[in-house]
Amino acid sequence: MLQMNRKQRWIGIFLVAVITFAAGCGEEEEEIVEETVGILEMETFLTNINDSSGERYAKLQLKLAVAPEEMAAEVTEDALLMAKLRDQVLTLISSKTFEQLSDPQGKETLRTEIQERLSPLVEGGELKEVLFAEFVVQ
């Protein structure tokens, strides 16, 4: 009976080794390619926000992470595209209330909305992230 247990143990080890080897043979190694990202710095935005008194304003400095890296330079050099990007951001910021912009969740919502509006304009590249370098609401 002791012989059978050893034999069964060796068969079990052998089967585990074969299954492990067979499972590993079917997998292809994925090549990890790191995509370089360029930073597109936008001019400071200073605009009135949606406020009944008309006395509130927002001042924002945005940086856009764009891939591939070369795309940031291409976008910066295209005056019409930069004007379109600024227009989309200004229109969005000026539609927001003080309460929306002063709330942390509201800021994240704004970040998402900016990315959704600007992404289609960055043809041939990808807008990876919207970064707030400055964010003041009064």
Per residue in 37-59, pLDDT (tens digit) is 999 999 999 999 998 888 999 99
In sequence order, which residues have a C-beta less than 8 Å from that of residue 98 and are 6 or more positions away?
49, 51, 56, 137
Here the tokens at position 61 are 């400095």
Q: What is the mean pLDDT of the chain?
A: 87
Residue keyed to tokens 């041939």: 124
Distance of CA 38 to the CA centre of its chain: 13
28 — pLDDT class (breaks 50, 70, 90): low
Residue 75: CB atoms within 10 A of its CB come to 23
Banded model confidence at residue 33, pLDDT cuts 50, 70, 90: low
* Residue ranges of domains in the chain: 38-137
Strands (E), 1-138: 38-41, 45-48, 57-67, 126-137
The model's pTM:
0.73
Residue 69 predicted with pLDDT over 60 = yes
The fold for domain 38-137 equals Tetrahydropterin Synthase; Chain A (3.30.479)
65 band by pLDDT with thresholds 50, 70 and 90: very high
Percent of all residues in the chain with a pLDDT value above 70, rounded to a whole number: 76
Cα separation of 87 and 36, whole Å?
27
Does residue 16 surpass a pLDDT of 90? no
* Cα–Cα nearest to 121, from 80, 85, 97: 85
Instruction: Fill in the DSSP letter of residue 51.
Output: -
